[in-house]
């Protein structure tokens, strides 16, 4: 449906979630307050999203330019938009990184790993560490899109257990990993005091 085909809401009316027109003076005050709050916050979120995208585009372009200039200085051609690069201020206080990471998915072999791990837990019975059970359950819990959580599955490979079936399960996980592309991130850090340690500047809502 094009924008021209969307009917305008008549003055003095509001459209409810089912698409019905309701006179504004018939809408409860609490519903009006909720509507205003949701619209105001959403507008700000959309603006923040656009600002973050603009920041990422600018950061990647600037870093690519730095890489290109460095290559020209030494008369070599460098892959300007690929590879991890760190850009640090002269005094070492701030650092911006371009990080290129593989995006991975799991092949059907992940089902073999899942069966082997469940076999381990069943064999260990009550002797199994409750923490391992939690890690396994979390790893194979699909997200809202029905996909396994990559980080949670890879965390299993960090659990060192001297058990042949467990080791075969870890091999099955390794065999199931398939790169399906790359994702590029911009990460910003600032130095902690006079130390050589850096802390990330959070750019996601969950971390601020």
Name the residue ranges covered by the structural domains of the chain.
1-81, 82-208
Please enumerate, as own/partner, the contacts of 50-59 that have beta carbons within 8 Å and a separation of 24 or more: 52/203, 55/186, 56/186, 59/96, 59/98, 59/186
Q: Who's near 133: CB < 8 A, 6+ residues apart?
A: 121
pLDDT single digits (tens) 139-183: 888 777 777 888 888 888 888 888 899 999 999 999 999 988 888
pLDDT single digits (tens) 14-26: 999 999 999 999 9
What CA dihedral angle connects 184, 185, 186 and 188, to 10 degrees?
A: -150
Q: Which two three-digit tokens encode residue 69?
A: 């200039």
What pairing do the DSSP bridges indicate for beta strands 85-88 and 94-106?
antiparallel
- pLDDT of 131 strictly over 70: no
Output the pLDDT for position 102: 84
More confident residue, 196 or 37: 37
pLDDT single digits (tens) 50-81: 999 999 999 999 999 998 898 888 877 665 55
Output the pLDDT for position 2: 47
Distances (CA, A) of 161 to 25, 132, 136, 191, 208: 66, 10, 13, 37, 36
pTM reported for the whole predicted model: 0.68
Q: Identify whether the C-beta of residue 100 lies closer than 8 Å to the C-beta of residue 83.
A: yes
Q: Which two three-digit tokens encode residue 181?
A: 């592309």
């Amino acid at each position: 449906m094009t924008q021209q085909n969307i009917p305008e809401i008549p003055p003095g009316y509001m459209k409810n979630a089912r698409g019905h027109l309701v006179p504004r003076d018939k809408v409860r005050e609490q519903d009006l307050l909720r509507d205003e709050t949701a619209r105001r916050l959403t507008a700000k979120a959309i603006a923040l999203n656009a600002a973050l995208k603009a920041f990422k585009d600018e950061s990647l372009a600037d870093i690519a330019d730095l890489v290109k200039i460095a290559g020209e200085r030494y008369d070599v051609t460098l892959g300007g938009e690929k590879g991890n690069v760190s850009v640090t201020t002269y005094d070492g206080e701030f650092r911006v990184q371009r990080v290129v990471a593989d995006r991975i998915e799991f092949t059907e072999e992940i089902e073999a790993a899942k069966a082997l791990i469940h076999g381990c837990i069943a064999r260990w019975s009550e002797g199994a560490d409750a923490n391992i059970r939690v890690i396994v359950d979390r790893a194979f819990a699909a997200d809202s899109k029905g996909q396994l959580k990559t980080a949670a599955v890879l965390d299993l490979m960090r659990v060192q257990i001297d058990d042949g079936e467990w080791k075969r399960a870890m091999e099955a996980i390794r065999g199931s990993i398939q790169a399906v592309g790359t994702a590029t991130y911009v990460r910003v850090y600032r130095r902690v005091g006079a130390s050589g340690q850096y802390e990330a500047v959070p750019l996601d809502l969950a971390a601020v």
